[in-house]
Structure 1
């Protein structure tokens, strides 16, 4: 059976609000949760970007059932993989086994802040593969030294290692990332309902492993208000990941989306309160073979009405799909 999750969108709410949101998601009956890990919002109108790992630690203490996951962390530029390993192990202990580490090759939007050049896509994928190897080795609890193409690790050791090793997910967008995920990940992550991505994951060793998708939605009893909010805060999503990974900041996304109309956004993001419209937006993910689907409710100030509606209307409809 497909599971349905809730996204803590760090770009659209402050840290205390994000924790209260995931508590409400647990109470509403969502099966799991994920959190973005950003330094910048996509657009200045979103208005937030707290440190995701502090939020996750607080969420682990404020909840008791709902699984937590990064969606996704880049372990190769802004963070060193040895530090990511320590953070993930600590989260697994704090959450008592409810944490999964979602990893990706990053976006210039967030990684440029440390002042390094933005590598080409194939280099970023190489870096991600090397980082995953380092993280897995550190999860074993032994002293680790590593001198590789992209990273050095000198006599590192995790002193607090969970009994249940942290599952690692890898975000995919093409054949090379599918190969890495199939070979190295415990689950696959994607933001588009493309069956070919899951098939690529399976070809390289992913058969039988979880596959997690994500899509934005914008609930509001006033559909016009929902469309306007989705356009204001989420029109960046129409650019696709090949573009979104390269732009360096909110001003660039503002310029790149000047010609995107509200009706363009409404074609890709279900808006309003017609539950059938939301179900039909989710259906392609289920039909493609995703076993878990995380929803992003657009608008940081519009979460509680969404939880009330999701508990009573949306989640039952999705489970009947």
Structure 2
């Protein structure tokens, strides 16, 4: 039995902009004749394209794993194979709770080990189009891009059609971080910003090496909802981080100590006793 605590939740909101075409496919076993080989994933009700929170979270984790592996310079860091015999894919997963709670990757994104699990401190919602982009006709939200692959041995060509979200489209993101340790939350949030910054210079979705999936984050608001908020519903108990609108992840990293000073002061001065945290067993 592992005891976890909760001191509050940090809510991050903003926009993710597709700088180049974005392909997050819904998958299709058999393509229709003359149809699209790889359609984008869509909301089944509205038919608007969206970005699953799992896709964003998985990409952030994979980039952050490489970053931490580089810092640690540990040849055994990628310790779990989730691939096949012919195509091994190695990832990092802490085997037990004691290792996960001090691991910058697993305590943030979660771990499912052989001996115990460590639930993620992050919740990443599905990203839906902004109100402005939901006003556009469906046919203006995506494009079908033809691509030709060439067999280097036979020179045979294969024409395929990929659907992707058009460049410029904007999606709303909401990321929730559970403050479970007073000595770790600052490092965790900085690590989250680092992962988001790494993603901006990488790609989201498929075909990134061919120019797809360049994205950019712009923050709208960051707030701490302490336990008092959940006990009373009083909005005045919420701590807002000032001057974050339209800021990038890189700017937030540079100005972190100043921007998060009020949250730090509250968590250091007002949460003085373990009784002030909600506890639960894992």
**Bigger helix fraction:** 1
Coarse TM-score class (shorter-chain normalised): under 0.3
In the superposition, the TM-score normalised over structure 2's length comes to 0.26
Which structure shows the bigger proportion of residues in strand conformation?
A: 2
Rg larger in structure: 2
TM-score normalised by length of structure 1 = 0.24
**Larger RCO, structures 1/2 (Cα 8 Å, 6+ apart):** 2
